[in-house]
Structure formats: C-alpha cells, structure tokens
Amino acid sequence: MYAFEVNFDGLVGPTHNYAGLSPGNIASQTHGGLESSPRQAAQQGLDKMWALHELGLPQGVFPPQHRPATELLRRLGHRGSDAEIVARVQREDPWLLACCYSASAMWAANSATVSAGADTRDGRVHFTPANLVSHLHRSLEAEATSRLLRQLFADADHFCHHPALPSLATFSDEGAANHTRLTPEPGQRGLTLMVCGSDEQRPRRYPARQSLQASRAIVRQHLLHDEQVLLLYQNPEAIDQGVFHNDVICVGHRNLLLIHEKALLGQHEALKRIRAAWTADTPLHIEQISEAELPLAEAVSSYLFNSQLVTLPDGGMALICPQECRESAAAKACIKRLLQGDNPLRRVKFFDLRQSMHNGGGPACLRLRVPLSEEQLMAMHQGVLLDAPLYQQLGDWIMRHYRDHLTPDDLVDPELIEESRVALDELTRILQLGNLYDFQR
C-alpha cells in the first residue's frame, strides 16, 4: 500500500511574541521581553512549507489558534469587555495575560500524537491531542487542537480521535515531540519509540514534561502492537541543559535515526533494544553524534536535532535545518560527516526560522507528521493542503493582517484583539474550514 508522511506545519499566529514563558527552554528564557515580528515569523514558516512542497512532498497547514484566550480570564472571575479585561489583567498580572496571548500552538509537533494505520490494530490513523499540562499557556491549546483535528480528519472509516489525557502531572503529555516512528516505508508497519521522563532518575533543575503513564496510555488508546513499541527514558542531564523534548536531541525518519550520545538513559542498551526490535529486511541506520563532536549545549543552541528528515521523490533523504546549524562550526561538521556516511541522507537545506528559533522552536517543532495512505489522504479535508494558489493567498493574507513589530507591552492594545479576529475569520474562508473559532459562532 503506497503511503505518504505528510507534514502539517503550524501557521504562526498574529500575536507571536516573546514572553519567556517556558522554563527549561533556553531560547525562550533568553529572548523573553524582546520585540518580535509576527509578520516575519509567519512568512518564514510559510516559506519553509513551500520549499518542502517544491521538493515534491505533500504539505499541509494548521491554522493558528485564537488569541487572546479571554475565556480563561472570564473563568478566573474577570468581567467586562475583552478590552477591559485585558487592560485590568495587564495591570494586575502581566504573566497571566502573556499566557493568554501566547502563539505557541505554532509548534505543531506538540499538538498531538499520531499513529499510522499500518501500526494500529484497526487500520485507522489514531490521534490524541496533547494536554500540555506542564505550562499554563500551552494547556490552553488541547481543546482547540482536538476540534481542528476532528474537522480535518473527519471520516471515521479512516481516522480515530481520542480525547486528551487527564489534565494531571501524572499524565503529562507533550505530543509527537517525544514520539518517533521508524519504518522501511510509510505504508508498512513501523517501530514506535516513546520517550519520557524517568520516575527513578529525575532531572535537578527542570521537570520532565512527558510522563511514562501518558506514553503507556497512548499506546493502549491507539491500539498499537506491543512488540512494535519501545518505551525509552530521557537523560535527566540533558533535560537540565535545555533538552525539554526528545526532538531537541533526536530525530528519526523511516530507517534513519540521528541521536546525540546523551539523549537517553542507558543509551547503549537502548540502542541495542532498537536494533533488536527492527525486523525489516531494509537496514536500519543509527547515526550517533558524540559529545566531543557536538557538545550538548551547542546541540541545543544550533537545534541540529530539531531538523526535519524527509524522503525526497528520488528516494534519498534531506535534512531540513535551521540557519543556526550553518553558523555553528561543530554542527556544520556533523552534517558534513552525515552526508558522507553510509546512510540514506543525501541533501541538506538551511532555513531562516529565527523568529521561531528565538522562542525555542526549530523546523521539527513547527510540524506534525501524519502518515497517510493514498485513500486516507483523499479522505481528509483538502483545503489545508498547500499548493501555489494557497501559498500566494496565505502570503497576501499575512502581509495585510500581521504586525511587523510586537512587544509584550503591546498586548494591552485593544486593537490587537480585533485585528486577530478579523485575520482568523478570513483565514477560515481561505482554508475552507467554516466556523472553526468560538468567536465565529
């Protein structure tokens, strides 16, 4: 059965700003309070999507979530118009207002965990939206993510949707950023790697964001074959140095796994387990990068492992890297070695994603991978699949509706509320999504 791995990228929202809301995410903390450019951020992300489309890869678009999330402020007892509430909360609790304005849903890798139909016992693609309970600003996303996924993948013959896990630390779930699927071909049964924090060896500075209980629950919900699932543990030392998700230090695609030597607890044994579980005739390539080649701190700052691995129409793989990898001598040397090695990697492309990178999200953070057969691809909502007319429409839409500059102090501007709603209302018409947002109902 022929199948595709479709990348769905989060389109950056009009309230993209740097509020430094994510402890453990070094870039987020470093750039907190600085001026952002929502227009540049959205265009940079859109240009990456178009470049992958131009490479011959199917590419989808996830619309932004509506912000500010004033419904939370009303639940917390605030009364009045949205503008009055925003002004009051800015005076009383600027951190809370920043949470309600966060555009972090742009990082679609955190939006959900997806299991391919080839891996599930009922043959359907399964979706579980991430609860993201580790941070308030991200926990606001789960309900809207669920609504979007159910609208895009509505055919129950092909797709199965689960509710987000309970909003408790015990079931803390950060989505596909901690999930890797290895497979000879997208349409064949794959090996699922679920990476989470260890209850026995915990980090000292920052908590692990993915729990073992959450990973186990998703395996059960998605009807995965137990022999094709490996539960692995994050290295707490790496978490304390800024590896808040596994996709900051590891990336896998088809039969290639790129991983830093400090990614996992007991990594030598973990890699042996991966090799033993790989039963396909196609060889599995594991490229481990040592601390001597790329120190952990530089792996985090360059985001080499937050690059995307994609298979090109000619069968070779390409690495989709942030510009920071070109500017790091160590990361650049690693890429050169990988390109010369005995593995499927053939090309590298660098992208300027600085607006996202400054908030702690690289190329892989911006996309959710959804494995689809030809029939499943045809069964999903077609209006979000990128082509030349849609790329042009979205570019024009960004230029008309997005501010070029935004600071945390600008969040109190009541005009920003209306600007965002007008923009998103038009976007739903462009993407043929109907009344997606609460304010449209």
* 78 assigned to active site: no
Q: Annotated binding site for substrate: which residue ranges? A: 19-28, 110, 137-138, 209, 247, 359
Q: Which among 5, 141, 174, 324 is annotated as catalytic? A: 174
Q: Which among 99, 160, 196, 365 is annotated as catalytic? A: 365
* 268 assigned to active site: no
Q: Which among 53, 158, 245, 285 is annotated as catalytic? A: 245
* 401 assigned to active site: no
Q: How far is CA 366 from the centre of its chain?
A: 5
Q: Annotated binding site: which residue ranges? A: 19-28, 110, 137-138, 209, 247, 359
Q: Report the catalytic residues.
A: 174, 245, 365
